Amino acid sequence: MVVVVLIAILSALAIPSMLQAGRERRVQEASTSVVDIFRNARGRAMYRGRAQMVLVRPSGSALRFDVFESANSRCRDGQFGAATGDSPNLTTVIETLDLATTYYARDGINATVTPGSTNRLRVCYTPMGNAFFGTSAYTGVTDTWSNNMADPNVAPAFEIRLFQGAVAGVGGVARRILLPLGGTPRMRQ
């Protein structure tokens, strides 16, 4: 009987730390998937010799990441297809990650993009590995792209924050993904 009581007490003490470890694992997994989307797009641009655009847009309370390939090597006049708002008219999406799907939503995974007041971001990688960005909805070939880090409205890196719960950093695990305009995306805690 004493053994059963001891096991029950130890189990009750271990459950909160096991739940916390599970939350950390799920946020870490989602963050790794986001970093992989950007790394794969950059590597694919360098390997295939064609510009790759990662389109980040709201999807429920989280974000959706879609990767498209240009018909040429340039971002500024890249032919990613005609578009209406956030929906490029393309036949093929190379890669997609939607954090609003049941797999991530069941764990309360949310995400935001900073700097910027909107959760829209376009990142285009050239075959030289350079990154260009835009912070508006994708509209087509006439979109403007920039890589001007001296712009006072833009930091030298974009940050995507993944977190669990309704508010970033409140009562849950959070991860930061840095997208430097001149380098490889990386994750920070």
| Cα separation, 53 vs 80, whole angstroms | 8
CB 115 within 8 A of CB 153: yes
pTM of the model: 0.80
- Answer whether CATH 1.10.10.10 is correct for domain 2-188: no
Q: Which of 24, 30, 44, 34 is nearest to 185 (CA)?
A: 34
For residue 47, count other CB atoms closer than 10 A to its CB.
Answer: 10
Q: What is the pLDDT of residues 61-107, one digit of tens each?
A: 788 898 988 888 888 776 675 555 555 555 567 888 888 888 887 77
Q: How sure is the predictor about 141, in pLDDT bands with cuts at 50, 70 and 90?
A: low
**In the chain, where the domains are located:** 2-188
Instruction: Give the Cβ contact number of residue 4 at 10 Å.
Output: 8
Tokens of residue 61, six digits? 């309370």
Determine contact, residues 184/46, Cβ cutoff 8 Å.
Answer: no
pLDDT single digits (tens) 107-133? 778 888 876 656 778 888 999 988 888
Length of the chain as a residue count: 189
Instruction: Record the tokens describing residue 3, joined without a space.
Output: 């053994």
